[in-house]
C-alpha cells in the first residue's frame, strides 16, 4: 500500500511540476512588464522576454512584412489579378454614377474639391491666354510674309473664292442701282456733275432734263455691271490685290491695326462663344449624362488599367517612399505590452494550454518512471 501511494505521489508531483513549469515559462514571455529590483539588485529574467525584446521584435516584424509578406511582387500580382480588376472597375463605376447624375453645378463641385476656380477667374485666364497668343503671334510672324505662314489649303480656298466674290460684288451692285435708292443716288450724282460744269452743264440740263439723263444712264450702269467683262475686271482686280497682300509681311498688314481696337473685340467674341457663366452654372448631369455609358464602360476601365500599369511600374519606388518597415516598427513599438500579450494569447491560447498540458503529461511520465525505478530499487 505504501509503495502504491509513493508511486502515485511521484506521478502527481511530476505532473504538477511539469505543468507549472510550462505555465510559468509561458507567463514569463510577457510578465513582468517592467524590471523588478530588490534594493539595487535586479531580479533575473525581469522584465519578461517580449517586453525586454520589444524593439528588436518590432524591427524583425518590419523586416518580415517588407521582405516576405508585402513585397513589390505580391502587390503587382494582386493588382494584375483579373478578379481584383473586375471588382475594382465595378466599384469605381458605381462610385462615379452619383457624380454623373448630380444636379449640382460645375462651380459647386469645383468648390467642393477646393479648386479656386469660378467664372471670373476662368474669364481672366482666357483673356490672359488671348493676350499671350495675340502678342506671341505678332512677335513670331511679323517679319514673315502671309504666303509663307498661311496654310496652303487656306490660300487655295481664297483663290477659289475670288470668282465667287467678284460675282457677289457685281450682283450687289446691280441690285443697288436697280433699287429706288440707287436711282436717287444716280440722279444726285448727275445733278452734282452738271452743276460743276457751269453754263454748259445748265444748258445740257435744260435741254435734256435731269430726270431724262438719270433714266438714260441708270440702265447703262446696270448693263455695264452685268457685262462679263466687268466681272472679269473685278476678278482680276481682286486677284491682283490678293497677290499683293499675300506677298506682304504681317508687320505691314498689322501696323494699320490698333491693338486697342482688335483685342477687346477679339476677347468679347471668344468669351461670348465660350459662355463661361452658362457653363459654370450647368449641372454635371446635363454635361455628363449623354456620356454616362461611355464613362462607366469605356473611360473608367481604361483609366483604371492605365493607373494599374503606372503603379505596377513604380511599385518598388512607392514602397521605398512609404518606408513600410519603419511604419510597422513604429506601430508595434506604440503597442503596450499588455496589448501585445492579449493579441498573442487571443491567437494562441488554445495551443499554449496544450503546451501546459503537455508539460504536465511529461512530468507525470517522468514521475511514473521515477516511481518504477524507486520500486525496483526498493
Domain assignment present for 159: yes
- Domain match, 65 and 101 both: no
Contact 295, 100 (CB under 8 A): yes
Look at residues 248, 273, 295 and tell me which one is the last residue of a structural domain: 248
Domain assignment present for 330: yes
- Domain match, 162 and 240 both: yes
Domain assignment present for 164: yes
Domain assignment present for 140: no
Domain assignment present for 241: yes
Domain assignment present for 333: yes
| Peptide bond preceding 169 in cis form (omega within 30 of 0) | no
- Domain match, 198 and 289 both: no
Count the domains in the chain.
3
- Domain match, 158 and 240 both: yes
Contact 22, 29 (CB under 8 A): no
- Domain match, 301 and 211 both: no
- Domain match, 160 and 205 both: yes
- Domain match, 240 and 293 both: no
- Domain match, 18 and 66 both: yes
- Domain match, 7 and 67 both: yes
- Give how far Cα 300 sits from Cα of 94, 99, 290, 305, 309, Å: 10, 13, 15, 9, 14
- Domain match, 106 and 158 both: no
Q: What is the pLDDT of residue 237?
A: 92
- Domain match, 108 and 31 both: no
| C-beta neighbour count of 359 within 10 angstroms | 22
| pTM tops 0.75, yes or no | no
Domain assignment present for 213: yes
- Residue 102, Cβ density class (10 Å: 0-12 exposed, 13-18 middle, ≥19 buried): middle
Domain assignment present for 123: no
Which residue range forms the structural domain that includes residue 50?
Answer: 2-71+322-377
- Domain match, 194 and 221 both: yes
Per-residue model confidence as pLDDT tens for the chain (378 residues): 577 777 788 888 888 888 898 888 888 877 777 777 787 777 777 777 777 777 777 788 788 877 777 888 888 888 888 898 889 988 988 888 888 888 888 888 888 878 878 888 888 899 999 989 888 888 888 788 888 888 888 888 998 999 999 889 888 888 888 888 888 887 777 666 656 555 554 555 554 554 556 677 778 888 888 888 888 999 999 999 989 888 888 888 777 777 787 888 888 888 888 888 888 888 888 888 888 888 888 888 899 899 888 888 888 888 888 888 888 888 877 777 777 777 777 877 888 889 888 888 998 888 888 888 877 776
Amino acid at each position: 500500500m505504501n509503495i502504491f501511494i509513493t508511486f502515485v505521489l511521484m506521478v502527481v508531483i511530476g505532473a504538477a511540476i511539469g505543468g507549472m513549469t510550462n505555465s510559468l515559462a509561458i507567463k514569463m514571455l510577457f510578465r513582468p512588464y517592467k524590471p523588478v529590483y530588490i534594493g539595487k539588485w535586479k531580479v533575473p529574467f525581469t522584465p519578461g522576454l517580449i517586453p525586454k525584446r520589444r524593439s528588436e521584435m518590432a524591427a524583425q516584424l518590419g523586416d518580415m512584412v517588407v521582405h516576405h509578406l508585402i513585397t513589390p511582387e505580391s502587390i503587382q500580382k494582386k493588382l494584375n489579378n483579373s478578379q481584383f480588376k473586375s471588382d475594382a472597375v465595378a466599384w469605381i463605376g458605381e462610385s462615379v454614377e452619383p457624380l454623373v447624375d448630380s444636379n449640382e453645378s460645375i462651380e459647386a463641385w469645383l468648390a467642393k474639391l477646393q479648386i479656386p476656380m469660378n467664372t471670373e477667374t476662368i474669364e481672366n485666364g482666357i483673356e490672359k491666354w488671348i493676350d499671350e497668343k495675340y502678342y506671341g503671334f505678332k512677335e513670331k510672324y511679323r517679319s514673315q510674309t502671309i504666303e509663307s505662314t498661311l496654310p496652303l489649303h487656306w490660300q487655295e480656298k481664297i483663290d477659289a473664292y475670288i470668282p465667287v466674290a467678284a460675282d457677289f460684288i457685281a450682283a450687289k451692285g446691280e441690285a443697288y442701282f436697280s433699287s429706288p435708292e440707287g436711282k436717287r443716288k444716280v440722279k444726285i450724282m448727275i445733278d452734282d456733275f452738271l452743276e460743276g460744269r457751269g453754263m454748259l452743264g445748265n444748258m445740257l440740263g435744260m435741254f435734256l432734263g435731269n430726270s431724262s439723263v438719270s433714266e438714260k444712264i441708270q440702265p447703262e450702269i446696270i448693263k455695264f455691271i452685268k457685262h462679263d467683262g466687268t466681272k472679269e475686271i473685278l476678278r482680276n482686280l481682286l486677284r491682283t490685290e490678293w497677290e499683293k497682300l499675300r506677298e506682304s509681311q504681317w508687320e505691314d498688314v498689322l501696323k494699320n491695326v490698333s491693338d486697342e481696337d482688335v483685342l477687346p473685340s477679339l476677347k468679347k467674341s471668344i468669351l461670348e462663344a465660350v459662355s463661361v457663366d452658362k457653363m459654370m452654372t450647368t449641372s454635371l448631369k446635363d454635361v455628363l449624362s449623354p456620356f454616362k455609358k461611355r464613362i462607366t464602360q469605356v473611360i473608367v476601365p481604361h483609366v483604371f488599367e492605365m493607373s494599374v500599369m503606372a503603379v505596377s511600374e513604380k511599385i518598388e519606388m512607392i514602397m521605398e517612399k512609404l518606408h513600410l518597415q519603419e511604419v510597422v516598427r513604429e506601430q508595434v513599438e506604440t503597442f503596450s505590452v499588455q496589448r501585445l500579450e492579449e493579441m498573442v494569447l487571443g491567437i494562441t491560447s488554445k495551443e499554449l494550454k496544450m503546451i501546459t498540458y503537455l508539460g504536465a503529461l511529461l512530468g507525470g511520465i517522468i514521475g511514473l518512471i521515477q516511481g518504477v525505478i524507486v520500486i525496483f530499487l526498493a
